[in-house]
Amino acid sequence: MSRRARLWVLAVGGLGLAVLLFAASLELPGFGGDWHPYGVRAVEAALARHTSNVVAAVNFDQRAFDTLGEESILFCAALGTVVLLRQTSDEHRVRPEPARVAPPVRRYALVALPVTLLIGLYIVAHGQLSPGGGFQGGVVVATALHLLYIAVDYRALERIRPIGLYAMADAAGEAAYLLLGAAGLIAGTAYLANVLPYGTFNTLASGGTVPLLNAAVGVEVASGVVVLLASFLDQAVEIVDADDPDSSGRNSDQDNSGRPRAPDNSDQPPAPDTSGRTPTPHNPPEEKPT
């Protein structure tokens, strides 16, 4: 189909959909209305189970089985990304050069790292009390670890990031969620039922299984995000295919799209013999041409 015909089909379809959406939105309950039957019941159920963050109660208690599916999607997506971005036989790894970091950047990132890590763990632990939980806190924890890449360099990040260990932690988080669900079966009720004592309202040990499920999700999300980012960062920094005859062209493509090699083209005087076949995967300012 030509580009023009495609745009016409798109215009007709989009117009039709716009009309349908407009008609449908007129039939929806008015914005800001008072009629929220499910919301009212969810709040009642959460308060009855001593969980002050109702969103966490919905996610990890009332609709915990749905969250199991969500967590499995996350797990499968991480698995799929690792498989898709694995090193193939025609590629090899180049050890990243140590890079020099501006002192203020290094200082700030090294100060921010433990603070961010602590905030992430706090958000995971307080998911049943205040906005947050395993998903949000897990992402914060994973981000905190990557501050080391900004503060030092890729080698330092690799030292605190043994991928195998994080992949296992990812699987362990998923398994912990499944097993916590099975606790309901052992106690004689339904799968993923909230079987633990509900505790005192508005304390850290409230909500029954909600904090435990939050912790399992936190472990899975944190390690899953670390593994995901590692796959992408390895592609950008370490994995090259120098034996491939068209690799030089591809490397120059990467330079144009803002990949790490761009700075040494602009900041340094053009060094002879470094273009073309020599892949420079990282941005080492004092890099020697090989």
Partner 1 sequence: MSVLPYLVAGWIFLIGCYGLATSRNLIHAVGCLAVCQASTYVLLLAVGYRDGGTAPVFSDLKPGTRPVVDPVVQALTLTDVVVGATVTALLLALVVQVGKRHGTVDPDELSELRG
CA distance 60 to 193: 10
**Of positions 4, 5, 12, 18, contacts partner 1 by CB under 8 A:** 18
Out of 42, 117, 180, 216, which residue is the one contacting partner 1 (CB under 8 A)? 42
26 versus 186: smaller Cβ distance to partner 1:
26
Q: CA-to-CA distance for 144 and 242, rounded, in angstroms? A: 33
| CB 223, CB 75: distance < 8 Å | no
Could you tell me the smallest distance in angstroms from the CB atom of residue 117 to partner 1?
20
Q: Please count the residues of this chain forming the interface with partner 1, following the rule CB under 8 A.
A: 59
36 touches partner 1 (CB under 8 A): yes
Asked whether position 223 contacts partner 1 by CB under 8 A, the answer is no
Angle, helices 103-125 vs 210-237, to 10°: value is: 150
With H, G, I as helix, E, B as strand and everything else as coil, classify residue 67: helix
Nearest one of 63, 71, 75, 74 to 192, comparing CA atoms: 63
Task: Pick the piece of the chain touching partner 1 (CB under 8 A) from 14-22, 107-115, 153-161, 280-288.
Answer: 14-22
Residues 74 and 123: their CA atoms lie apart, in Å, by 19
Query: Residue 240: beta bridge partners?
Result: 92
Site map (CB under 8 A) of partner 1, residues 244-263, x = contact: --x--xx-------------
**Cα 280 off chain centre by:** 27
Contact set with partner 1 (CB under 8 A): 6-7, 10, 14, 17-18, 21-22, 24-26, 28-34, 36, 38-39, 42-43, 46-47, 52-55, 57-59, 63, 66-67, 70, 73-74, 77-78, 80-81, 84-85, 129-131, 135, 202, 221, 224, 228, 231-232, 235, 241, 246, 249-250
